[in-house]
Amino acid sequence: MTKLWAGLAVAACVYVMPDAAFAQQRFDVGLMLGQTKTSDEGAALQFDPATAWQATFAWRVWANEAVRVSVEVPFLASPAFEVATPGRTLPKEYASLYLTPGVRVTLPANGPVSAFGSVGAGYARYSESKLRADGSPNPDQRDTNAGALQLDGGVDVRGFGWLGFRGEVRDVLTGARNFSIATPRGRVHNVTASGGLVLRF
């Protein structure tokens, strides 16, 4: 019983960590899971939402009591956007990844709950599957490299010391994708809603 009370006391002390100690943490790593909805290619190719995996590293470069400014490097990947349009000769799916360094602004800087927004730009890659919907090979499989612009907003919740929680919505706008069939090839929105853990140190 004594050990139990001691453990609870330690946890309570960590949870009520002073703002001054919290403010000394200069880096954070977000590890999140979510879902991405991407733009369809007109009637030619339409896609189901895909699972999204995200890891974001951020470095605080300036702060006062009200505002914190950080440089962030988000890496976001969706392994499988399945093609929802019927057609056995259509590609089965495609994968995407995005790397878009940017600037994040958080306020209040050290509150138990903080709102943030970020903007950044970088690189996107799309890889069409090597199989068609019917399981046969896709001889015209295409990969695409494109520029990307991202906008992001969300909420951070302070947890226990070095551990926090985050929810966010991120839109990555990229150049056109190339597919093995003719498509309109317009600019692409990739809207991701995700949540997960934040590690601070």
What is the DSSP-derived secondary structure letter of residue 195?
E
Phi, psi of 109 (to 5 degrees): -60, -40
Tens digit of each residue's pLDDT (9 = 90 or more) over 85-125:
999 999 999 999 999 999 999 999 989 999 999 999 999 99
Asked if 116 and 102 count as a contact pair (C-beta separation under 8 A), the reply is no
| Percent of residues, the chain, with pLDDT higher than 70 | 88
Q: How confident is the model at residue 25 (pLDDT cuts 50, 70, 90)?
A: confident
Lookup result for tokens 């498509």:
183
Domains of the chain (ranges, CATH numbers): 2-200 (2.40.160.20)
Supply the pLDDT for residue 23: 55
Sign of the dihedral defined by the CA atoms of residues 120, 111, 157, 164, in that order = positive
Three-class SS string for 105-119? Answer: EEECCCCCEEEEEEE
Asked if 169 and 191 count as a contact pair (C-beta separation under 8 A), the reply is yes
